[in-house]
Amino acid sequence: MPDVNQLDILAIAAHPDDAEITCGGLLIKMAELGRKTGVLDLARGEMGTFGDHTDRVAEATAAAGILDLTWREQLGLPDSAIEYNQENKLKIAAVIRGTRPELIILPHWEQRHPDHLACTRLAYDACFLAGLKKIDIEGEPFRPRKIIYVTYFRNTDYSFLVDISDQFEKKSEAVAAYKSQFENPGNAKKIFRPGVDVFEFMRARARQLGTLVGVTYAEAFTVKEHMLLDDPQKMPVQSI
Ligand SMILES: [Zn+2]
């Protein structure tokens, strides 16, 4: 079980390196602000073509150090076979009770990979279940206040973007820590998307998102509820 009583932010992802690629910049930025950040990987990535179980665990630990995470664990659900069921919801709910994060980061709810879809559905339900007093889960009832969804691979539906210009290089370093996947350029092009170098892709993507809001590099997120502002005159990003 988690050995922290209180995280500020917890990202829940299906596979090791998912959080690094989709929201690594935000996690680094929040750690720089003194926030306690964490990542829960549901699977260990053992179905990947390259690297064995030991490699993947060591790489996730190295990446956690670069992201300056306070906490990281791998739930050990079967890679490429993560099931949307009550047992898995309760396992994640127990982690939420143990780490008590105010903010949760989940994959977007529309997904191509079945593990990513199962991850976001399981974790959303777990946030709800963790707050129920009578449910049979270890720990005190707790429900995160806010859920944001990474919108990294989508071209619409952004609720907000985060400037990661000062964190981008470190984010790339964290992804590079997955040496079994990305150190050999030939292998790397087979893993992420056929023929696509993950580092080139990340730079182009972050730059493209950055141009939308007038910064060098950005990451994109979505919330399901509305945003509330006190002073519209201070909204960043010029209209014309
Ligand atoms: Zn993944």
Q: What is the pLDDT of residues 83-105, one digit of tens each?
A: 999 999 999 999 999 999 999 99
**Predicted pLDDT of residue 45:** 79
Which helix (H) or strand (E) element contains residue 62?
A: helix 53-67
As a whole number of angstroms, the distance between CA 68 and CA 123 comes to 23
Residue 62 CB: number of other CB atoms within 10 A? 16
- Under the banding of pLDDT at 50, 70 and 90, the label for residue 1 is very low
Q: What are the structure tokens assigned to 158, written together? A: 């952004």
**Predicted pLDDT of residue 187:** 72
Span from the CA of 15 to the centroid of ligand 1 (angstroms): 5
Evaluate if pTM is beyond 0.85.
yes
Q: What are the structure tokens assigned to 80, written together? A: 């490429």
Span from the CA of 234 to the centroid of ligand 1 (angstroms): 37
Interval 166-181 mean pLDDT: 95
Which helix (H) or strand (E) element contains residue 87?
A: helix 86-99
156 pLDDT higher than 90: no
**Predicted pLDDT of residue 128:** 98
Span from the CA of 231 to the centroid of ligand 1 (angstroms): 38
Span from the CA of 98 to the centroid of ligand 1 (angstroms): 24
Span from the CA of 128 to the centroid of ligand 1 (angstroms): 23
8 A C-beta contact, residue 13 and residue 119? yes
CATH class of 9-224: alpha beta
Reduced to 3 states (helix: H, G, I; strand: E, B; else coil), residue 37 is: strand
Reduced to 3 states (helix: H, G, I; strand: E, B; else coil), residue 221 is: strand
Express as a percent the part of the chain with pLDDT over 90.
80
Span from the CA of 19 to the centroid of ligand 1 (angstroms): 8
pLDDT in tens, 178-187: 998 888 777 7
As a whole number of angstroms, the distance between CA 41 and CA 15 comes to 5
As a whole number of angstroms, the distance between CA 60 and CA 175 comes to 9
Span from the CA of 115 to the centroid of ligand 1 (angstroms): 7
Span from the CA of 140 to the centroid of ligand 1 (angstroms): 30
pLDDT in tens, 31-49: 999 999 999 999 987 766 6
Residue 169 CB: number of other CB atoms within 10 A? 13
As a whole number of angstroms, the distance between CA 234 and CA 7 comes to 30
Burial class (CB within 10 angstroms; exposed 0-12, middle 13-18, buried 19+) of 67: buried
As a whole number of angstroms, the distance between CA 177 and CA 198 comes to 13
Span from the CA of 45 to the centroid of ligand 1 (angstroms): 8
Span from the CA of 143 to the centroid of ligand 1 (angstroms): 25
Residues in the chain: 240
Span from the CA of 105 to the centroid of ligand 1 (angstroms): 14
**Predicted pLDDT of residue 111:** 93
